[in-house]
Structure 1
């Protein structure tokens, strides 16, 4: 029988040996971010907050974002993944503690009088009935000589962090996508107004052209040219409901509701979006939850290397039990009925067919893959910010040129109307002068929509107000 001092010696030795933790300790890799973005980022501008959409003061957008955060299946799935990771982490932590079980039993036994053991037992059957109860402390406790249990807890914690960051990244993507779809819907409403004005102008031009043709003062070529322009405008007007329906369906899906339930009211026309401070590329690691998630996954993969290395070394478990056993229930809790067992068990891998080597190689390959994934995500994040900044700058230049076009063409239209009022030109000349300003108004509606879409893209690329300190 193993003496108590032997067990205590083993425990003390294990406590000293537990200082050894196999495998590399996790170290965050360098971000290798450039000093500045390729596109010129605005130095001044609004700072993104967690609920960044509130800065635009649009009550309808605020309601859509609140609906999306409450009803989105994507966020619900992310929350479930957090719960699952938290459960795994809790189970891993439990491996660091002894397991304690309490149980009781009543045992009945009778041997056969006709079995091969009967001559030894005097040709008689033996009947036994007894009671057993006790506290069983399965020291089921692994002495963590090589830090395997510690690495498992470390890896589970990293996976829990990754799940939490995955949910944060899903929130950023969802809120940015809702805003982008909503602003596209508003841009289509603005375009519909401009397009209807253009179509009405083409209809008047066709009436004038038809009258002139009937009077013999215009050619068939002139009439058919105006008819074609009217047909083109009619086609654009007819296609607009389809485009609006697709965007409406997208908003409904993002906010977790059926499209038939979604009611939107068109507010004032979109103006130029406000500037948002992009900051420095080196700040992205603190601003984007998907980058932090990638690092957490690298941390979890690093912990797996230590677990795989520990499989090459012996493991020691301490087990023990204490209780009472007696034939008579009345004697069950007496001192003579006590029983106990205690002792260590040691296992050492001798031959496992290369399994442990393969597992270690796989764990190291997973670290390499996770590191490459992080670097790829970092490059993609930098590109997304640069793309959004370039989009905003390019659209701003085009909007400026279109505004100058609108100003000049509107002046030309005013002159044409003045001359028409004086009888110097026909109304067809007025409708011709309307062509450019009306087409420019439609183009500006589309450009403003593109600017707001790029703003949503920049918000998403910058992490949507998330911050590593607690976003």
Structure 2
């Protein structure tokens, strides 16, 4: 009869275990993204892939990205966080299963003849002495009546998703930063070539001005003006190695190597290719940091159910089965058998408001996570709009500078023709060179800004993570 009642108890409590899951179920919030970006986003163009830098067909960039992905401590730390979250999720899932322990013991026993509990027979204390051997197995299983364990596993799984997405976001940021630094270095090389041509022209102009001054055909003011322009050009040329060194140091740090080990070959930057920006509503599928924010919101929502379950009774099934005997040879026998099984229940009566405070904290965490997601969404939209505005604005300025270069180039051609005819001096030619050479430098800087905005757009769009 006892065994039947125990079995009925087990069946009843197990049936209750799946009846309720406390707390709100997670629902993804509305993104409230605008219909279109403020800047005119190109609907045509290259579609970002996971290894998006391959679209530029640049072997140097490919090698730098591969080195960065292999050596980055940031990515190594992100990978370790994934493994930690995976282990925590596995540990949480283990709570849904019964726990079984097996043990054995052996020892000697002798009771005291002087204890107050010592039995007395015919006026003499009765003591017991001998050996004892035991073998037992224990079982413990918490019945998840209110879904606490289920919510714990749900929260742990969401945290695992968040860790994975954090690593993806770190990968996007790293690869975009590597490309931005590399393109900045190439832009500086282009600017350096333009600077050197400008410095050479200023040097020739100074020699002509010095000759004319020595001949008495020009004033000190004219000579000093040309000297100042040459000094300014010298200063710009002298400052260029410092600027290049800073970029190389950044690139070396990103790729996990010393700047002295970087051997790069300069080549002129062309027009960056157009990248399809898509629609604002697509950012949730494109950017891993937004998906990570939603995973954190999911985990916070599950924590509310865990906090609510603390208000309700906790029921565990515990039991043990084994053998105990004073004779090792008869340990595994029916007379030496023993067992104990049954449920235990605990109900919180007074805990000083702890459970209520924990529930309020969990609900506030949900509100905080939701606000963080909305803030991150707004930031993502701004970053895309900023990158698009940079690209469009720089393209317009580049077009204007090209027209300036074309016109000043024609003026330089006329000046050289007149110089060949003896109508003007060489100083007039060097003066005509001023605008096209300065424009070439400005174009190199603008081209670098265009490529920097391209890297910014890649990062803002999620680097092809969701592609």
Q: Indicate whether the TM-score tops 0.5.
A: yes
**2:199 corresponds to which residue?**
199
Cα distance in 2 for residues equivalent to 1:423 and 1:263? 48
Corresponding position: 1:412 with 2:411 = yes
Q: CA deviation at 1:104?
A: 1.4
Is 1:134–2:133 an aligned residue pair? no
How much is the aligned-residue C-alpha RMSD, in angstroms?
Answer: 1.5
- Distance in 1 between the 2:202 and 2:111 partners? 107
Aligned equivalents of 1:226 and 1:407: distance in 2? 25
Once the 2 structures are TM-superposed, how far is the Cα of residue 260 of structure 1 from its aligned partner?
A: 2.2
Q: Is the 8 A contact 1:35 1:282 kept in 2?
A: yes
CA distance in 2, matches of 1:188, 1:363: 52
Alignment check: 8 A CA contact 2:212 2:218 kept: yes
Contact 2:120–2:126 (CA under 8 A) maintained in structure 1:
no
Q: Go from structure 1 to structure 2 and tell me whether the alpha carbon gap of 1:160 and 1:217 turns closer, same or farther (over 3 Å shift).
A: same
Contact 2:13/2:143, CA 8 A, preserved across alignment: no
Instruction: Give the equivalent residue in structure 1 for 2:450.
Output: 451
Matches within 5 A, 1:323-402: 323-402=322-401
Shift of 1:123: 4.4
Partner deviation per Cα, 1:254-301 (whole Å, 9 max, x = no partner) = 1111222222121x2001101001000011111111000000000000
Measure how far apart 1:102 and its partner are. Answer: 1.8
Distance 1:14 1:292 in 2: 37
**Secondary structure of the corresponding residue to residue 68 of structure 2:** helix
In structure 2, the residue matched to 1:61 is 61
Find the residue that maps to 2:133 and give its secondary structure.
strand
The verdict on how the C-alpha distance between 1:312 and 1:117 changes in structure 2, with shifts beyond 3 A counting, is: closer
Distance across 2 between alignment mates of 1:263 and 1:391: 30
The correspondence of residues 142-221 of structure 1 with structure 2, limited to 5 A, is 142-221=142-221
2:294 match: 295
TM-score by length of 1: 0.96
Shift of 1:116: 4.7
SS at match of 2:342: strand
Q: What is the 5 A alignment of 1:193-272? A: 193-266=193-266, 268-272=267-271
Please state whether the residue corresponding to 1:244 is helix, strand or coil: helix
| Structure 1 unaligned residues grouped into runs of 5+ | none
State the match for 1:11 in structure 2.
11
Cα distance, 1:127 vs. partner? Answer: 2.6
Q: Distance in 2 between matches of 1:4 and 1:255?
A: 69
Shift of 1:130: 1.2
Structure 1 Cα separation of the partners of residues 172 and 392 of structure 2: 23
Decide whether aligned partners of structure 1 residues 394 and 316 sit closer, same or farther in structure 2, where only a CA change above 3 A counts.
same
> Whole-Å Cα distance in 2 between the matches of residues 142 and 64 of structure 1?
53
Structure 1 residues 4, 430: closer, same or farther in 2, change over 3 A? farther
> Any conservation in 2 of the 1:7–1:344 contact (CA below 8 Å)?
no
List structure 1 runs of 4+ shifted beyond 6 angstroms.
none
In structure 2, the CA distance between the partners of 1:107 and 1:2, relative to structure 1 (3 Å rule), is: farther
Q: Distance in 2 between matches of 1:114 and 1:17?
A: 51
CA distance in 2, matches of 1:151, 1:214: 91
Counterpart of 2:407 in 1: which secondary structure? Answer: helix
Quick one: distance in 2 between partners of 1:85 and 1:459? Answer: 28
Superposed displacement of residue 14, structure 1: 3.5
Cα offset, 1:113, TM superposition: 4.4
Whole-Å Cα distance in 2 between the matches of residues 128 and 449 of structure 1? Answer: 90
Is the contact between residue 159 and residue 299 of structure 2 (CA under 8 Å) also seen in structure 1?
yes
The answer for the alignment partner of 1:29 in structure 2 is 29
Give the whole-Å Cα distance in 2 for the aligned partners of 1:8 and 1:61: 70
